Chain A
Amino acid sequence: MPSSRLWLARPFGERSTLIFLAVLGATMALVVAANLLLAPEHPLHVSTYTVTLLGKYLCYALLAVAVDLVWGYLGILSLGHGAFFALGGYAMGMYLMRQIGDRGVYGDPLLPDFMVFLDWDSLPWYWLGFDMAGFAFVMVLLAPGLLALVFGFLAFRSRVTGVYLSIITQALTFALMLAFFRNEMGFGGNNGLTDFKELLGFDLSADATRLGLFIASGVALALGFLLCRAIVVSKLGRVCVAVRDAESRTRFLGYRVERYQQFVFVVSAMLAGVAGALYVPQVGIINPSEFSPLFSIEVVVWVALGGRATLYGAVIGALAVNYAKSVFTGVMPEAWLFALGALFVLVTVLLPQGIAGLLSRSRQQGSDDDSDTQPDTPTDTLDATPREATP
């Protein structure tokens, strides 16, 4: 059996991508159909509540893909991606707050309720523009992207790597959490932003809007996945793997490693921001708990469970763990963290390549499907992934 490090290599072929997109698309179509076409009494009917729950999971899955891009392929174990997720969420939340207009409890046409409550008489400058959807959506990308850019500039130029980098990312999200807890920051303090009414004119409590958000989350996941895949199968992706496994050797070949790290880190942060932005209208609230260091660690656990450096493994991990979490917290909520910890230990010991490793192994045992495209090489589980760039 190959060492897990070797296994950590392969961006998958076209085939896995198609399978992933087909499964995602088919599942979503079924959910939509079961929600719209089946009567509520029908045993297979999917309620709007469930649709929204699934939409939330899809956002988590996109966040997990973003983490896998930097961790799986570049070797940066970010324990602070929740911060980028939350920033995207806050950008969306600020737009949704301003959409409330004078329908808030205090009826102020300009100021959100919490600002009236704090006796503020004008909108802080950084809230300007958030009444425009276009501006807000750009900020969904820019806010996390800029933070990642500055963070990456400081960390990667001074060659902070490994555990130290992970700790700094934890510190980053922790510091942001403390900052956002403060009322004076102007983001609603520990209550955060909530009581949203409309998104782009659509009533957020309407079933159709919720279904639309679910579909949007799935589309965002598919696009984010394709973007990450495009990066991973490019030559740049191979440079990333080289950096992950032998950073100084890569540098010695003449690659400016810190640029690559910075680029991929920023892309990943922006994806996390998009995930957060789609998450907020579905759960109806954004508050500083999304910055919690624990949340960022949980995301890494999803990726590890699903299987690192496969992208689709991250999706599987996010969905599986969150489904387990919903079931578990329904039965005995206080035990969830222990269950998660136990799951993590079990999988790292028994399944070092995660669920995706299990899948690809059984698939290869079944049919050796990908190897037949390279008749010139011996059949080998290690290189059973053809690459269009290397004929």
Chain B
Amino acid sequence: MSFLQSLADRDRVFDFLVPEQSPVDVRHGPILYLEDVSVSFDGFKAINDLNLTIDDGELRCIIGPNGAGKTTMMDIITGKTRPDQGSVWFGSRHNLLTKNEPEIARLGIGRKFQKPTVFEALTVFENLELAMAMDKSLWPTLKARMTGEVLARIEEVLETVGLASLSRRQAGILSHGQKQWLEIGMLLMQRPRLLLVDEPVAGMTEQEMERTAELLLSLAGKHSVVVVEHDMGFVRSIARTVTVLHQGSVLAEGSMDKVASDPRVIEVYLGGDEEAA
């Protein structure tokens, strides 16, 4: 098994560009593992005994009403918020609770925030260039030259996120949806193993939503992807496994059809919401 894995690893074209830290070990289980996690803000339990496992290469959708704790959960995984109790593991090797934000990012967990922030004055190409996983200290950056490898990587990501024809445009003139894709592209430049995507289609047109769905589906397999989204139609179009969060813990988990027919889910979320249709 591990021999096969190493063969597969060797096939990766840009292996030398992968950050040098110890790889994520997913041989003995999931890529992300949260157990009995709780956090409270001024006595209010935003996350309450949360248990969640994400398998390697999985595309997982997380839904839940406003204030269910979805963003807070991402804060915990990325090290922005420290839980009061519980454990969070990345593979079987990295205890995320002992690491800070940049360390976690370097381990290969990329996060897209709810509000897209791209560098508006720079071109799409340059946005990706700056996001590339490489030495980011002063002198190497001053002397950095565009190499074939970097160029190839940027072009690959441009293709993936569908912005190749806009690569020389300034990011500031992109549509909202295109900015979201660019931001996902910037995440991909860092070669994450796990992508956390918070509300990717908020404010998008139908076509943009469709393309985003295709994009996220194409990422699954190569990366593990966790998507938080409110839009039920969108979740239905990409979901394989859906986790419903409610008051800081998992209410239901399974296929979209299964959770959608769960009476408790209907009551707290689908039923009381305009999404019921």
Q: Which residues of A contact B138 (CB under 8 A)?
A: 236, 256, 259-260, 263
Contact (Cβ within 8 A) A238 B126: yes
Contact of B145 among A3, A231, A389 (CB under 8 A): A389
Given A234-B142, A383-B169, A254 and B136 touching (CB < 8 A)? yes
Q: Is B114 an interface residue (CB 8 A)?
A: no
CB distance from A107 to the nearest CB of B (A): 51
Q: Is A123 an interface residue (CB 8 A)?
A: no
Q: Which residues of A contact B125 (CB under 8 A)?
A: 390
Given A9-B170, A238-B129, A255 and B151 touching (CB < 8 A)? no
Which A residues from 211 to 263 make CB contacts under 8 A with B? Answer: 231, 234-236, 238-239, 241-242, 244-246, 249-250, 252-256, 259-260, 263
Contact (Cβ within 8 A) A249 B144: no
Contact (Cβ within 8 A) A391 B151: yes
CB distance from B197 to the nearest CB of A (A): 15
Please give me the residue from chain A that is nearest to B151 by CB atom.
A391
Interface segment among B116-124, B200-208, B213-221: the answer is B116-124
Q: Is B271 an interface residue (CB 8 A)?
A: no
Contact of A5 among B117, B121, B130, B186 (CB under 8 A): B121
The interface size of chain B toward A, counting residues with CB under 8 Å, comes to 35
Contact (Cβ within 8 A) A241 B131: no
Q: Is B137 an interface residue (CB 8 A)?
A: yes
Contact (Cβ within 8 A) A5 B119: no
Contact (Cβ within 8 A) A6 B136: no
Contact (Cβ within 8 A) A253 B131: yes
Question: Chain B 32-68 against A: per-residue CB contact (8 Å), 1 yes, 0 no?
Answer: 0000000000000000000000000000000000000
CB distance from B167 to the nearest CB of A (A): 8
Contact (Cβ within 8 A) A246 B117: yes
Contact (Cβ within 8 A) A374 B168: yes
Contact (Cβ within 8 A) A255 B117: no
Contact (Cβ within 8 A) B172 A5: yes
Given A377-B168, A391-B146, A255 and B136 touching (CB < 8 A)? yes
Q: Which residues of B contact A249 (CB under 8 A)?
A: 117, 119
Given A231-B142, A253-B136, A390 and B120 touching (CB < 8 A)? no
CB distance from A57 to the nearest CB of B (A): 30
How many angstroms from the CA of A10 to the CA of B172 in the assembled complex? 13
How many angstroms from the CA of A256 to the CA of B101 in the assembled complex? 14
Contact (Cβ within 8 A) B122 A6: no
Contact of B144 among A2, A9, A235, A244 (CB under 8 A): A235
How many angstroms from the CA of A253 to the CA of B134 in the assembled complex? 10
Contact (Cβ within 8 A) B121 A8: yes
Number of residue pairs spanning A and B whose beta carbons lie under 8 angstroms apart: 101
How many angstroms from the CA of A256 to the CA of B137 in the assembled complex? 7
Q: Which residues of A contact B168 (CB under 8 A)?
A: 374, 376-377, 383, 390
Q: Is A380 an interface residue (CB 8 A)?
A: yes
Q: Which residues of A contact B173 (CB under 8 A)?
A: 2, 6, 382
Q: Is B175 an interface residue (CB 8 A)?
A: no
How many angstroms from the CA of A245 to the CA of B141 in the assembled complex? 18
How many angstroms from the CA of A221 to the CA of B101 in the assembled complex? 43
Question: Chain B 188-215 against A: per-residue CB contact (8 Å), 1 yes, 0 no?
Answer: 0010000000000000000000000000
Q: Which residues of A contact B263 (CB under 8 A)?
A: none
CB distance from A71 to the nearest CB of B (A): 14
How many angstroms from the CA of A254 to the CA of B191 in the assembled complex? 14
Q: Is B102 an interface residue (CB 8 A)?
A: yes
CB distance from A122 to the nearest CB of B (A): 43
Q: Which residues of B contact A390 (CB under 8 A)?
A: 123, 125-126, 129, 146, 168
CB distance from A25 to the nearest CB of B (A): 27
Q: Which residues of A contact B167 (CB under 8 A)?
A: 377
How many angstroms from the CA of A10 to the CA of B129 in the assembled complex? 16
Please give me the residue from chain A that is nearest to B132 by CB atom.
A253
Contact of A380 among B101, B126, B130, B169 (CB under 8 A): B169
CB distance from B140 to the nearest CB of A (A): 9
How many angstroms from the CA of A239 to the CA of B136 in the assembled complex? 10
Contact (Cβ within 8 A) A242 B122: yes
CB distance from B19 to the nearest CB of A (A): 10
Q: Is B94 an interface residue (CB 8 A)?
A: no
Q: Is B105 an interface residue (CB 8 A)?
A: yes
Question: Chain B 155-179 against A: per-residue CB contact (8 Å), 1 yes, 0 no?
Answer: 0000000000101111011000000
Q: Which residues of B contact A9 (CB under 8 A)?
A: 120-122, 170, 172
The residue among A8, A245, A260 with the most chain B CB atoms within 10 A of its own CB is A245
How many angstroms from the CA of A65 to the CA of B183 in the assembled complex? 33
How many angstroms from the CA of A222 to the CA of B137 in the assembled complex? 29
How many angstroms from the CA of A390 to the CA of B106 in the assembled complex? 26
Given A254-B105, A377-B169, A383-B169, A235 and B137 touching (CB < 8 A)? no
Contact (Cβ within 8 A) A239 B120: no
Please give me the residue from chain A that is nearest to B183 by CB atom.
A249
How many angstroms from the CA of A256 to the CA of B169 in the assembled complex? 27
Q: Which residues of B contact A377 (CB under 8 A)?
A: 165, 167-169
How many angstroms from the CA of A259 to the CA of B120 in the assembled complex? 22
Please give me the residue from chain B that is nearest to A384 by CB atom.
B168
Question: Chain A 5-46 against B: per-residue CB contact (8 Å), 1 yes, 0 no?
Answer: 110111000000000000000000000000000000000000
13 contacts between A and B (CB under 8 A): A9-B172, A234-B142, A235-B141, A236-B141, A238-B130, A242-B130, A244-B121, A249-B117, A254-B105, A256-B138, A260-B138, A390-B123, A390-B168
Given A254-B106, A389-B146, 7 new contacts (CB under 8 A)? A9-B121, A235-B141, A241-B121, A246-B119, A254-B105, A255-B141, A377-B167
Q: Interface on A for B, CB 8 Å cutoff?
A: 2-3, 5-6, 8-10, 231, 234-236, 238-239, 241-242, 244-246, 249-250, 252-256, 259-260, 263, 374, 376-377, 380, 382-383, 389-391
The 6 closest A-B pairs by CB, nearest first: A9-B121, A235-B144, A236-B142, A6-B172, A242-B119, A377-B168
Q: Interface on B for A, CB 8 Å cutoff?
A: 101-102, 105-106, 117-123, 125-126, 129-131, 136-138, 141-146, 151, 165, 167-170, 172-173, 186, 190
